Amino acid sequence: MKFFIDTANLDEIAEAQALGVLDGVTTNPSLMAKEGITGSDNILAHYKRICEIVEGDVSAEVISTDFEGMVKEGEALAALHPQIVVKLPMIADGVKACKYFSDKGIKTNVTLIFSSGQALLAAKAGATYMSPFLGRLDDISTDGLQLIAEIRQIYDNYGFETQILSASVRNTMHVINCAKIGSDVMTGPLSSITGLLKHPLTVSGLAKFLEDYKKGN
C-alpha cells in the first residue's frame, strides 16, 4: 500500500519523506488555507515546492466547478510539474473533466467520494486515483471501511485500474484496516504514519539491549 501524506505543511512533508516511506502527497484548498497559502500564484509556487521535496505524485485540487474552468485550471496545474495529479470533485463536470484528462494521459484524482456508485463513475471516467473519505463517513456514524471494502470488490470484479486512495484517514488503525482490505493507497496526517512506529515492547526491548551492551563494555 502506498503512503501519501495529507497536508500542505512543508516540514511535515519533509519529515515523512526523510523517513523513507513516503509515496506522495495529497492537498486540498482547506489544507492550503491552514498553512496560510492564499492567492493563485502563491498556491502554484507552493505546489512546486512540495514536488521538490517528494518523489511521488502530488494531488493539486481545482476550485472551479464547471468543465471549462476545471480543464483550464487542471492544465495549468499539470504543466507545473510532472508529479502533479489533477484533483477533481465528484460532480458531473468533474467526471467529464476526469475523462478529458485521462484521454490526454494526465493523471487525475477524483475526490469527495462517499458511495460505491461514485467510485464506479470515477473508474469508468478513467481516474488514476479516486478518494473515498473514510474518516468523514465515520464522523456521521457510517462505516467508512465498509465502503472501501465494497469498492475493492467492485474494482476487482471488473479489473478497473483506478487506484483506491483511502482518504480522510485519521489514525493508525485506519491505516492498518485499509491495508487489510487492499486499498492501493492511504493518505493521512503525519501522525497516522509515525504512529505506526510505536510499541512499548520495542521501547523496553531496546532499552534492555543497550543496558546489557553497556554491562559487557
Q: What is the DSSP letter of 85?
A: E
Residues in contact with ligand E4P, counted by CB under 6 A, come to a total of: 11
Which one, of 91, 30, 29, 102, lies nearest residue 66 by Cα?
Answer: 91
- Of the candidates 34, 87, 107, 208, the residue annotated as catalytic is 87
Residues 10-49 that bind ligand E4P (CB under 6 A): 26, 28
2 near ligand E4P (CB under 6 A): no
7 near ligand E4P (CB under 6 A): no
Spatial separation of the C-alpha atoms in residues 122 and 166, rounded to whole Å: 14
Spatial separation of the C-alpha atoms in residues 90 and 131, rounded to whole Å: 10
| C-beta separation of 43 from 10 below 8 A | no
192 near ligand E4P (CB under 6 A): no
Residue with cell 468523514: 136
Spatial separation of the C-alpha atoms in residues 188 and 155, rounded to whole Å: 22
Residues 79-118 that bind ligand E4P (CB under 6 A): 111
136 near ligand E4P (CB under 6 A): yes
- Cell, residue 135: 474518516
Q: Which of 137, 187, 190, 192 binds ligand E4P (CB under 6 A)?
A: 187
133 near ligand E4P (CB under 6 A): yes
| Interface pattern 165-184 for ligand E4P (x via CB under 6 A) | --xx----------------
Q: Does the annotation count 124 as an active-site position?
A: no
Minimum CB distance to ligand E4P smaller for 106 or for 137: 137
Spatial separation of the C-alpha atoms in residues 194 and 185, rounded to whole Å: 16
DSSP β-ladder status, 24-26 and 163-166 = unpaired
6 near ligand E4P (CB under 6 A): yes
Chain positions contacting ligand E4P, by CB under 6 A: 6, 26, 28, 111, 131, 133, 135-136, 167-168, 187
Active site residues: 87
